[in-house]
Amino acid sequence: MSHASPPVRRLADWDHDRLSRLAAEHGTPLYVLDLDRVAANYERFASAFPDAHVMYAAKAHTGHAVLSKLLETGADIECAAWGELQRAIDAGADPDTLQYTAVNPPDRDLDYAVDLAEDHPGLTITGGARDTFDRLEARGYDGRVAIRINPGIGTGHHEKVATGKDAKFGIPYDEVPGLADEIGERFDLVGIHAHAGSGVLHDDLDDHCRAIAKVAEMGRTVEQSHDLAFVDFGGGFGVPYREDEDPLDMQVVGERVSEAVGDLDAQVKLEPGRYVVADAECILTEVNTVKETPAATVVGVDASLATLIRPAMFGSYHPIRNVSAPDRGAEPVSVGGPCCTSADVFCTDRPVARPEREDLLAIGNAGAYGYELANQFHSQPRPAEVAIEDDDARVVRERETLADVTRVER
């Protein structure tokens, strides 16, 4: 079974010869996606929670190839915007199985979801503000809803993803029982939802389980007066980005989460995103400049913060490996791209097998929020994406041209 695959895939585990061939054929920067790894990660996660309903959080990677592979593997899809709903449907999802988690939803998003629910009443809309429910009612909607609650406990790799204690997300905990009674009279209240944070590893697991226990307790409170179909604990389970970090033992995590949840009549839902896709994708980039300075050896590459913005946005660590010469002696280098900002740096003074001009470097763990956050800063067309599946490789996203960048201008 594929869920028996190693719990983390390091950059050294990729086939370097194949990566070199893909870069030569398709150019750089290039996203390389392993769809078999996506499926294996999902199956490993689902096997740790055999009694839960596991939904993939599409926002981590909304590519058609990823969604199609996960639907084929047996996943349902959770969406955070109307475009994700449409892309899930385009990939083959049954709209009646979708869950839409509305966060400060624009009118367009709510209009789309309400129209979709007219023909597909199985769609569930999750609201995290009283306004959202009022706006749904104003549109004539009275279907399936869930209440997103704020447990007051945030976890994860960065304060910007610790959603469980951010007032932007969810109804304040103490207000939920009263709101549930009100919502139950206006809609079909089917669930309670929460999300504590993102990138949770072993050091964060205690806090994460405290948040889960708090959400479960609210689920039991609401169950006393409402017939809930589910309590959704979100996702947030991380992968080790640094080489010295250990991966989660998902069987242990499953036991810890089950213990934190305790007894619930409603079904447990979980929404992994990052865990499923992060280590299933890397970025290939070519060295174009090596500059020795008194402060650092600067290595310039053709990828940039337009290709992968997470280091600039979150200070995120992504492993880097010299694919062309992995055994060359390592030297501390700073690797950055062609953007005219000091934020365009992938690492600073990090030991890497000494890069030379035209070497191919790989940047790891790019599958979660990598291409999703890619942009066109400096009029850089976004890169191509190649998917590996079984023994085949195919382009699943064409490299943009400058004409693509300027097409919508008038």
Which SS3 state, helix, strand or coil, does residue 172 take?
strand
User: Cβ contacts of residue 277 below 8 Å, gap of 6+?
Assistant: 38, 41, 60, 61, 66, 367, 368
Q: Domain 35-274 carries which CATH code? A: 3.20.20.10
Share of the chain above pLDDT 70, in %: 96
Strand pairing report for 124-127 and 345-353: unpaired
Residue 167 — very low, low, confident or very high, per pLDDT cuts 50/70/90? low
Least confident of 133-147, 149-163, 201-215, 288-302: 149-163
Mean pLDDT computed over every residue of the chain? 94
pLDDT at site 4: 58
pLDDT at site 160: 41
CA triplet 225, 231, 233: central angle to 5 degrees? 145
- Residues 396, 65 contacting (CB under 8 angstroms): yes
What is the maximum alpha-carbon separation in the chain?
69
Q: Looking up tokens 């996960």, which residue turns up?
A: 70
Which SS3 state, helix, strand or coil, does residue 331 take?
strand
What's the average model confidence in pLDDT over 139-151?
96
pLDDT at site 156: 43
pLDDT tens, position by position, 351-370:
999 999 999 999 999 999 99
279-406 fold: Lyase, Ornithine Decarboxylase; Chain A, domain 1 (2.40.37)
Residue 158 — very low, low, confident or very high, per pLDDT cuts 50/70/90? very low
pLDDT at site 161: 41
Strand partners, 189: 145
Strand pairing report for 188-193 and 267-270: unpaired
Residue 221 tokens, joined: 């409170």
Write the Ramachandran bin of 332: left for phi over 0, alpha for psi from -120 to 50, otherwise beta. Answer: beta
pLDDT at site 2: 41
pLDDT tens, position by position, 194-251:
987 778 998 889 989 999 999 999 999 999 999 999 999 999 999 999 999 999 999 9
pLDDT at site 3: 43
For residue 29, say if its preceding peptide bond is cis, omega within 30 degrees of 0.
yes
For every residue of 226-272, DSSP letters joined together read: S--SEEE----B----STTSPPP-HHHHHHHHHHHH---SSEEEE--
For the cut 70, the answer to whether the pLDDT of residue 153 exceeds it is: yes
- Residues 97, 77 contacting (CB under 8 angstroms): yes
For the cut 60, the answer to whether the pLDDT of residue 163 exceeds it is: no
What's the average model confidence in pLDDT over 325-334?
97
Burial of residue 104, with CB atoms counted within 10 A of its CB: 0-12 exposed, 13-18 middle, 19 or more buried: exposed
Residue 166 — very low, low, confident or very high, per pLDDT cuts 50/70/90? low
What's the average model confidence in pLDDT over 136-140?
98
pLDDT at site 149: 95
20/13 Cα distance (integer angstroms): 14
- Residues 280, 371 contacting (CB under 8 angstroms): no
For 270, phi and psi rounded to 5 degrees? -135, 150
Residue from 362, 369, 365 nearest 41 by CA: 365
Residue 157 — very low, low, confident or very high, per pLDDT cuts 50/70/90? very low
- As annotated, the active-site residues are 340
The one-letter amino acid code at 388 reads I
For every residue of 198-230, DSSP letters joined together read: E-B-GGGHHHHHHHHHHHHHHHHHHHTTS--SE
Task: Report CA-CA distances (Å) from 359 to 28, 301, 302, 334.
Answer: 11, 9, 11, 15
For the cut 60, the answer to whether the pLDDT of residue 44 exceeds it is: yes
Domain-wise residue ranges, the chain: 35-274, 279-406
Residue 168 — very low, low, confident or very high, per pLDDT cuts 50/70/90? confident
